[in-house]
Chains A and B, each alone.
Chain A
Amino acid sequence: MSAEVTTFGPDRLSRHGRAASIALRMLKDRGFVVICILAATSSILVLSWLLWSILSSGLTYLDWAFLDDVPSRKPEKAGMGPAIIGSVLVCAVCAFFALPIGVGSAVFLEEYKPTKGKWVKRLHAFVQLNISNLAGVPSIVYGIIGLTVFVEMFGLFGSANDPALAIGSHPFEASDGSSYLEQAWYYFQLPIGRGVLAGALTLMLVILPVVIISAQEALRAVPDSLRHAALGVGATRWQMVSKVSLPAAVPGIMTGSILAMSRAIGEAAPMLVIAGIVFITYTPLHLMDDFTVMPLQIYEWAKKPQEAFHAVAASGIIVLLAVLLGFNALAVFIRNKFHKPLS
């Protein structure tokens, strides 16, 4: 019996290549901790390096006038007024389309899970799979789709400069006798051209998967007992959703939507395809008007060879990061203020 025990002793372990010495094993453990701490702190170092380099060069041109001024050939006069207004407009219109569709999809996926029917179940699973695949599509691909579908509308309605349908424009005679078309604030045309509306719809495609996934998570966090109680007192499916689970999930949905919108504000690639680099010195008058957004303006400045414009780009980045910080603070505030444990 004692012989059987000794076969499991230290000699046997070492013969199989396992570290027999406890000291060596502990040393490995300590060494790994050091590597871990180095790796983990490197991300903190990189972030602080990035922020420091942007702050140190960006504060030169940053003042209140920078927020209001129009882009200029002179770095000291350049500002991002039109870009800020463009970003706000595009994101507002984008939220107007993306939030209802996104929350609707999430409600379908979470609250209307089919219990029977092979094909319905398959459809449900397919929609779910499709959404996680869409989240992985590069945003510039959405830009190209937006260009074809929204800006040009497959060429069905002629070119954007000569629209087949235009509502809200009337001829206007200038004082020197030349006449041109004046466009009202509700001006609408088909195809919609490289305007705010096309940008917003394209951005909707980009953030829709994000909105759907975060709204789904918020709905999933609502305990089933609330749903069972509602159904138990005779509520229909929609009454249960609209009176019980959606209201309970609203703080989570809002937090997720705000984070999705902060992603939309920083998105440059699809906007670059839709809007291009245009020199814009005015506020967009209507939803078909040319526009630019903050990241695009930053890209334009960063691309210039002059060093001075790099400082202007850094100032623009500070403004953009400040806006994003505000969005995140709002999301955290909503999460903390309205979040109450439901179970």
Chain B
Amino acid sequence: MTNPSANPTRPIPGRPRSKTAQRVRERLIQAGLVGCALFSILITASIVVILAAEAIQFFRLDEVSITEFFFGTEWSPLLGAEKHFGIWPLICGTLLVTAVAMSVALPLGLITAVYLSEYAPPRLRAVLKPTLEVLAGIPTVVFGFFALTVITPGLISLHEGFEIYNAFSAGIAVGIMCLPIVTSLTEDALQAVPRALRAGAFGLGATRFEVSVKIVLPAALSGIVAAFLLAIARAVGETMIVALAAGSSPNMTLDPRESVQTMTGYMVQIFLGDASNYGPEYLSSYAVAFMLFVMTFGITVIGQKIRKRFREVYQ
């Protein structure tokens, strides 16, 4: 009878006193969580609106023409009497570095992933996985330093034609940076293929190679393509490596031994104070950023579409 919890008027500690208070609290918390989630949509919206607004302001300037920007092949915003804003040299430089990077990262990453998923003995796996995780955690400025001080001198000693800043060295470093992404995403895609498919092929007498190449790879194709696209988006948006190793001369060239400027490299040059605020060259960085955003966003969205649309569904 003296048990205090038996007293009905005394609230149990830590419990709201009334149902209404509790309901209000629940609603408030839910609203706060919705606010957190909407914040991410706000970020996307502000990226699009700010970049578009500043880019429009850039196109309104007298010295800029929108046709020249999208079709021009000369980019000389800082030097010379007449400024030219044709974005193709920057896109060309970006694509050149990305192409070199992908020719390193995609084959190596794909083969490593197949090996990890289908072949690797546990002991080698225990070394490879942490190695790739460490590579994935290294800041990009470190890869840039590596490209500038190790890869470039190595390339020059092999072949005289390489310039001190060149697209090839930056591309190799970007490729090394992308390697862990390609490997882990591809391995995830391969692991998602059900064991029964492999067992069926083995049962018909296929070798391990035939199972990997003829059964597992085709079944995981959509995931692999999505992984590749994600790596391409990362390479296109990579900044510090190209700012250190690729140089800053917007060349319209396909020769990877030459110095190029990528879209991100141009933005770094502008924001390091080579241009006065609010001049056309300063505003042009927003237009370039908008192009870069559209490209990477487009690649990411295509990757998601492919993964969703062409996924083989197994139960």
Q: Interface residues, chain A, CB within 8 Å of chain B? A: 25-26, 28-29, 32-33, 35-37, 39-40, 42-44, 46-47, 49-50, 53-54, 57, 100-102, 104-105, 107-109, 112, 126-127, 129-134, 136-141, 143-145, 147-149, 205, 208-209, 212, 236-238, 259, 262-263, 265-269, 272-273, 276-277, 295, 298-299, 302-303, 310, 313-314, 317, 320-321, 324, 328
13 sampled A-B residue pairs with Cβ under 8 A: A32-B212, A40-B128, A44-B128, A108-B37, A140-B292, A141-B47, A141-B237, A212-B40, A299-B141, A320-B139, A320-B142, A321-B138, A324-B137
Q: A268-B139, A320-B142 are in contact. Are A238 and B128 (CB under 8 A)?
A: no
Contact of A299 among B47, B144, B273 (CB under 8 A): B144
The chain A residue with its CB closest to the CB of B180 is A43
Q: A28-B207, A40-B112, A108-B34 are in contact. Are A134 and B138 (CB under 8 A)?
A: no
CB of B33 within 8 A of CB of A138, answer no
Number of chain B residues close to chain A: CB under 8 A: 87
Contact of B127 among A44, A132, A208, A263 (CB under 8 A): A44
- Whether B148 sits at the interface, judged by CB under 8 Å, is yes
* Chain A neighbourhood of B273, CB < 8 A: 276-277
CB of B267 within 8 A of CB of A144, answer yes
The chain B residue with its CB closest to the CB of A37 is B115
* Chain A neighbourhood of B34, CB < 8 A: 108
The chain A residue with its CB closest to the CB of B28 is A238
- Whether B209 sits at the interface, judged by CB under 8 Å, is yes
- Whether B120 sits at the interface, judged by CB under 8 Å, is yes
CB of A299 within 8 A of CB of B297, answer no
Assembled-state Cα–Cα distance A26/B207 (Å): 7
Assembled-state Cα–Cα distance A324/B44 (Å): 29
Assembled-state Cα–Cα distance A133/B108 (Å): 26
The secondary structure that dominates the A interface is helix
List CB contacts (< 8 Å) of B187-246 with chain A.
207-210, 212, 230, 233-234, 236-240, 243-244
Assembled-state Cα–Cα distance A328/B139 (Å): 13
* Chain A neighbourhood of B304, CB < 8 A: 129, 132-133
Assembled-state Cα–Cα distance A324/B296 (Å): 28
Q: A138-B264, A236-B26 are in contact. Are A205 and B145 (CB under 8 A)?
A: no
Contact of A267 among B139, B143, B149, B296 (CB under 8 A): B139
CB of B244 within 8 A of CB of A302, answer yes
Q: A130-B41, A136-B297, A317-B142 are in contact. Are A29 and B207 (CB under 8 A)?
A: yes
CB of B240 within 8 A of CB of A328, answer no
A43 CB to nearest B CB, Å: 6
Assembled-state Cα–Cα distance A141/B267 (Å): 9
B206 CB to nearest A CB, Å: 9
Contact of B120 among A40, A108, A268 (CB under 8 A): A40
- Whether B134 sits at the interface, judged by CB under 8 Å, is yes
The chain B residue with its CB closest to the CB of A301 is B145
Q: A140-B239, A236-B22 are in contact. Are A148 and B132 (CB under 8 A)?
A: no
- Whether B97 sits at the interface, judged by CB under 8 Å, is no
B290 CB to nearest A CB, Å: 9
B168 CB to nearest A CB, Å: 16
* Chain A neighbourhood of B37, CB < 8 A: 104-105, 108-109, 127
CB of B26 within 8 A of CB of A237, answer yes
Contact of A104 among B36, B51, B183, B230 (CB under 8 A): B36
CB of B296 within 8 A of CB of A140, answer no
